[in-house]
Amino acid sequence: MLHADRQRALIFGSLAEAYDRARPSYPTALIDDLMSERPKSVLDVGCGTGKAARLLIERGCEVLGVEPDERMAAIAAGHGVNVEVTTFEDWDPIARSFDLLTSAQAWHWVDPLIGAQKSASVLRPGGRLALFWNHLHHEPQVLAALAPVYERVAPAIAANTMALGVLPDSERGRDTAALGATGRFGDIEARAYAWQRSFTRAEWLDYLRTCSDHAMLPEATLEALLDAVGAAIDGLGGAIAVPYSTILITARAHTDTLR
């Protein structure tokens, strides 16, 4: 499980500025759904540089971020997000409770069993949990150009990198199962939001540098991979359109949850 790989989980701090610049945001339709019940207080777990938190603040929410890396947290704070620096597992709620708990692109770094139990304990009765991730799906011609590059230059990650559109369905299944196992959540469901973003060659390479599996490669391998991917994108006209599905797992804390 990814949450147990702490070296990989904490690599993002060294990439914080690039992460804030290069990572895509989240679709408006998703934020609209999260705001449908007009939550006021939000806990954003693994808030990173505050990409999701800022969208909720713009809608009038009071957001508290929990982020284990102080460098990521510093950028979030610079964007106006109130952040406490710690892991969610170690975070002390100090008797605080929330209408909505979100985790954007980060829940896979949290122990799913501990995270599920703790989420239930800090949500108000009837409060909502929202875990979401952006997953990309390359067009066939783009995948046909990029996949051989990974197989040739970086075979260690070729079969499992989300940069090629590999979806970790087993991770999402474990997340859903962990929520159900607590006995403290109901209305557990998954939703998907389709959207698309275009990337220039430079933007896509910037994004790849923020992927943890890429950042863990030896520097020479990473640079060779980026050069080869860049050449492949040049062959596609210098830019690619990337379809995304943002996957949301949502659940509601039981109104009779014991605290």
What predicted TM-score, i.e. pTM, was given to this entire model? 0.90
pLDDT score for 5: 47
Question: Is the model's pLDDT at 192 over the cut of 70?
Answer: yes
pLDDT score for 4: 46
pLDDT score for 13: 65
**Residue 238 placed within a domain:** yes
Query: How many structural domains comprise the chain?
Result: 1
**Residue 259 placed within a domain:** no
pLDDT score for 171: 63
**Residue 65 placed within a domain:** yes
- What secondary structure, in 3-state letters, does the chain show? CHHHCHHHHCHHHHHHHHHHHHCCCCCHHHHHHHCCCCCCEEEEECCCCCHHHHHHHHCCCEEEEEECCHHHHHHHHHCCCEEEECCCCCCCCCCCCEEEEEEECCHHHCCHHHHHHHHHHHEEEEEEEEEEEEEECCCHHHHHHHHHHHHHHCHHHHCCCHHHCCCCHHHHHHHHHHHHHCCCEEEEEEEEEEEEEEEEHHHHHHHHHCCHHHHCCCHHHHHHHHHHHHHHHHHCCCEEEEEEEEEEEEEEECCCCCC
**Residue 229 placed within a domain:** yes
**Residue 237 placed within a domain:** yes
**Residue 258 placed within a domain:** no
Confidence of residue 93 (pLDDT cuts 50, 70, 90): very high
Per-residue pLDDT reduced to its tens digit, 223-255: 999 999 999 999 999 999 999 999 999 999 986
| CATH number of 27's domain | 3.40.50.150
| Rounded mean pLDDT, 88-111 | 96
> Residue 61 sits in which domain range?
2-253
**Residue 156 placed within a domain:** yes
Question: Is the model's pLDDT at 144 over the cut of 90?
Answer: yes
